[in-house]
């Protein structure tokens, strides 16, 4: 049996319509070369000391020869172009929901899979929400993994099961998973219900991906942005990124500060009023 290909578009010509249709219909899309190699180099250089400082994972899911580093917006100024990439945010906006008022950053995590690593178990990222059985038509999370190094089957490219996002039960096996092979600077986009997992690294190189996930404004973020990114760093980020981090009202009243203040006003005194809805 031949495995299906993953939907794939070229980053220089990709449209939000094509990418969001592929993610909605197949649960996954690879966008090739969406950022240049210099951006990958810059993010890698900024994260290198943090990756070197952290210990490998403690269990098979984290990966016992895999290093994971978070707080990316606080540590890598160059990551802003990936975390808040216009095309990705437009796709996320279209795919999440329906009937949402806002979405937010869920987590930012560099994942460096070292040589001789077995594959990570297949899973759904939305299992983080206590395995709640969300209706298949409600997309609560969109995940992305940027290839900062080349993703090949041998280096441990993320494995994805196309079409698995709408199935009530996870019955997929390793045989159903397709490696998201892609050159560095590319991104694989999939939903919180798409079955996937890190690949086995059988090479002598370390595979580095930047995992950036987004979720509906009314769910709890997996990575606490307020405590991960120092306030003085957050203050100097672009307003769109600040709002994405959660410095904005999620829905009518969620996340207000003190006397019904819009949280953006904590970072920008000229923004956000008081009263639910930021009035
Ligand atoms: O590193 C990868 O390719 C996938 C990692 C992943 O899916 C996870 O940790 O949730
Ligand atoms: Fe995952």
CA of 159 to the centre of ligand 1 (A): 9
What is the distance between the alpha carbons of residues 213 and 207, in angstroms, rounded to a whole number? 19
Q: Ligand 1 atom 8: the closest Cα is on which residue?
A: 197
In this structure, the strands spanning 66-69 and 103-113 are antiparallel
* Residue 277: per-residue pLDDT: 62
What is the distance between the alpha carbons of residues 153 and 140, in angstroms, rounded to a whole number? 29
Q: Which mutation among 64, 120, 200 tests ligand 1's pocket best, with the greatest number of atoms within 8 A of CB?
A: 120
pLDDT digits (tens, 9 = 90+) for 9-42: 999 999 999 999 999 999 999 999 999 999 999 9
CA of 260 to the centre of ligand 1 (A): 38
Q: Which residues line ligand 1 (CB under 6 A)?
A: 111, 120, 125, 145, 158, 196-198, 209, 211
CA of 256 to the centre of ligand 2 (A): 30
**By C-alpha distance, which of 16, 24, 163 is closest to 98?**
24
* Residue 3: per-residue pLDDT: 73
**By C-alpha distance, which of 120, 114, 127, 113 is closest to 60?**
120
Task: Please say whether the beta carbons of 47 and 76 come within 8 A.
Answer: yes
Helix (H, G, I), strand (E, B) or coil at 165: helix
* Residue 23: per-residue pLDDT: 98
pLDDT class for 278, splitting at 50, 70, 90?
Answer: low
Which atom in ligand 1 lies closest to the alpha carbon of residue 156?
Answer: 3
CA of 198 to the centre of ligand 1 (A): 5
* Residue 1: per-residue pLDDT: 55
Q: Ligand 1 atom 1: the closest Cα is on which residue?
A: 198
Mean pLDDT, to the nearest integer, of 211-233?
98
Q: Which of 3-7, 44-48, 202-206, 230-234 has the lowest mean pLDDT?
A: 3-7
Which atom in ligand 1 lies closest to the alpha carbon of residue 62?
Answer: 9
pLDDT at 252 over 60: yes
pLDDT at 91 over 70: yes
* Residue 127: per-residue pLDDT: 98
What is the distance between the alpha carbons of residues 9 and 179, in angstroms, rounded to a whole number? 16
CA of 125 to the centre of ligand 1 (A): 9
What is the distance between the alpha carbons of residues 121 and 207, in angstroms, rounded to a whole number? 17
pLDDT at 155 over 80: yes
What mean pLDDT, rounded, does the chain reach?
96
What is the distance between the alpha carbons of residues 150 and 71, in angstroms, rounded to a whole number? 23
Q: Which of 115-124, 163-172, 252-261 has the highest mean pLDDT?
A: 115-124
**By C-alpha distance, which of 57, 100, 139, 213 is closest to 225?**
213
**Beta bridge partner(s), residue 151:** 182
pLDDT class for 275, splitting at 50, 70, 90?
Answer: confident
Q: Which of 178-187, 206-215, 258-267 has the lowest mean pLDDT?
A: 258-267
pLDDT class for 49, splitting at 50, 70, 90?
Answer: very high
Helix (H, G, I), strand (E, B) or coil at 211: strand
Residue with tokens 């970072």: 267
**Beta bridge partner(s), residue 111:** 68, 209
* Residue 279: per-residue pLDDT: 52
DSSP of 86-144, one letter per residue? HHHHHHHHHHSBSS-S-EEEEEEEEEEE-SSBPPPPPB-GGGGTTT----TT-B-EEEE
CA of 158 to the centre of ligand 1 (A): 7
* Confidence (pTM): 0.97
Which residues make Cβ contacts (< 8 Å) with residue 274, sequence separation at least 6? Answer: 259, 260, 261, 262
Q: Which mutation among 211, 215, 222, 223 tests ligand 1's pocket best, with the greatest number of atoms within 8 A of CB?
A: 211
* Residue 256: per-residue pLDDT: 94
* Residue 192: per-residue pLDDT: 98
- What totals of helices (H) and strands (E) does the chain contain, helices first? 9, 10
Selecting from 2.60.120.620, 3.40.50.300, 3.20.20.140, 2.30.31.10, what CATH number does the domain 8-247 have? 2.60.120.620
Mean pLDDT, to the nearest integer, of 197-203?
98
* Residue 17: per-residue pLDDT: 98
CA of 61 to the centre of ligand 2 (A): 9
* Residue 99: per-residue pLDDT: 86
What is the distance between the alpha carbons of residues 107 and 103, in angstroms, rounded to a whole number? 12
Q: Ligand 1 atom 2: the closest Cα is on which residue?
A: 198
């Amino acid at each position: 049996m031949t495995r299906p290909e993953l939907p794939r578009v070229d980053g220089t010509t990709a449209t939000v319509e094509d990418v969001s249709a592929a993610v909605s219909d197949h649960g996954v899309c690879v966008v090739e070369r969406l950022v240049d190699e210099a951006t990958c180099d810059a993010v890698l250089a900024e994260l290198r000391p943090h990756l070197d400082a952290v210990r490998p994972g403690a269990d098979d899911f984290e990966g016992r020869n895999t290093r994971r580093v978070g707080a990316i917006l606080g540590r890598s100024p160059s990551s802003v172009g990936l975390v808040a990439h216009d095309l990705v945010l437009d796709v996320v906006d279209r795919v999440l929901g329906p009937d949402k008022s806002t979405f937010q950053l869920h987590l930012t995590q560099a994942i460096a899979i070292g040589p001789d690593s077995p594959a990570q178990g297949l899973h759904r990222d939305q299992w983080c929400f206590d395995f709640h059985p969300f209706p298949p038509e409600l997309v609560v999370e969109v995940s992305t993994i940027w290839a900062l190094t080349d993703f090949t089957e041998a280096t441990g490219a993320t494995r994805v099961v196309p079409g698995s996002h709408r199935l009530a039960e996870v019955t997929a096996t390793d045989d159903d998973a397709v490696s998201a092979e892609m050159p560095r600077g590319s991104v694989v986009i999939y939903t919180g219900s798409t079955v996937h997992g890190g690949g086995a690294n059988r090479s002598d190189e370390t595979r580095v991906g930047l995992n950036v996930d987004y979720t509906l404004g009314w769910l709890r973020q997996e990575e606490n942005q307020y405590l991960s990114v120092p306030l003085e760093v957050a203050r100097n980020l672009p307003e769109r990124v600040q709002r994405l981090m959660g410095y904005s009202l999620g829905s009518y009243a969620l996340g207000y500060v003190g006397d019904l203040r819009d949280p953006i006003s904590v970072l920008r005194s000229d923004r956000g009023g008081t009263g639910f809805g930021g009035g």
